[in-house]
Amino acid sequence: MKVLQERSLAPFHTFGIEVTANHIVVAESAEDLVAIWQDEQYLALPKLIVGQGSNLLFCEDYAGVIVLNRIAGIEITETAESYQLHVGAGEDWHQLVRSTVENKMPGLENLALIPGCVGSSPIQNIGAYGVELKDVCQYVDVVELNTGKLSRILASDCQFGYRDSIFKHALKNTHAIVAVGLKLPKVWQPNVSYGPLMQFNTDTVTALEIFEEVCRIRQQKLPDPNVLGNAGSFFKNPIVASAKRAQLMMAYPNMPSYEMADGSYKLAAGWLIDQCGLKGYQVGGAKVHEQQALVLVNYGQATARDVLKLASEVVLQVKDKFGVCLEHEVRFMAAAQETKLAEVMS
């Protein structure tokens, strides 16, 4: 492991908010992760594994050890039916997607330009434009941090849900992801069922065309965190019962909604926020992005408190107007443990 001398976390999370950590260390292997957890100087301290910090909001200074997961490596094997990728948790997700498309291994193109490392993808069960990580995941390799035991969890046992997985629950504080196994079938079925991708003909479209269109859309709609600090989609798209959706459609017939397998409906959180007139709404240095209401940005030296107050106002106004409760997709970190907006603002 490598111990960094700096304590500022601004370079290590995409919101770019000036907070500090007591210690910042780099792990380049499963053995490094275990060594950090067993190091006597860190034993009593809280620890947080971070990839690119693209889904994090530090609510205050972190009173523990930030562990930067930089486990690298991509191994590709091939069967008659599929390409099988074994990818280190510290690899960049978008660069992986780009590489597979360029090397004629389609299947990940809808997930282009999602920020973060590969190791974060199963935690959130990342998804975009009709595809989720669970659709291509074969397994996740983990290490038990207190014992060093390595194990493989098949995708069927990962309890994948909408932005959810076993890694947010039963394995949250005991295991770390070291690699992800992906399976990309050679008989490719393009997914153009979602929004702007419906322009394509499934018989003629290429993976590269889908990849480029997804990149174009995301770059047009979403701010570059290198320019405006942000953590991507701040809120989850809320899921409501069919009766609630029917009630809302009476008042808002143009409201976007998507039927789920269980008969419930997913609403577009960005649309709800936009209908409240909140694009451009600002609290201190934090602002609702003018082009994409689902994104909160660090507009100018924002503090964590600015972002929290802004998020609270968004939740309140959407609740008042639509009777729908927004939940944040971004993970909130307090000084020693993960927290939630309601807890921080209580």
Strands 331-333 and 56-58: parallel
Q: Two tokens at 301?
A: 């030296």
Residues 70, 233, 245, 257: which is the catalytic one? 233
Strands 62-69 and 295-298: unpaired
E strand residue ranges, 71-149: 74-78, 82-88, 127-128, 131-132, 137-144
Q: Is 329 an annotated catalytic residue?
A: yes
Active-site annotation holds for 163: yes
Element (H, E) at 249: helix 242-251
Please give the Cα distance from 103 to 108 (Å, whole number): 12
Q: Strands (DSSP E) along 81-156, which ranges?
A: 82-88, 127-128, 131-132, 137-144, 150-154
**Phi-psi sector, 277: left (phi>0), alpha (psi -120 to 50), beta:** left
Catalytic pick from 163, 218, 245, 331? 163
* Residue closest to 134 by CA, chosen among 114, 110, 151, 156: 156
Query: Which listed residue (91, 109, 213, 329) is catalytic?
Result: 329
3-state secondary structure of 107: coil
Q: Count the Cβ atoms, other than its own, within 10 Å of residue 333.
A: 26
Q: Which secondary-structure segment (H or E) carries 278?
A: none
Task: For the beta carbon of residue 154, count every other beta carbon within 10 angstroms.
Answer: 11
Give the distance between the most distant pair of CA atoms in the chain.
Answer: 61
Residues known to be catalytic = 163, 233, 329
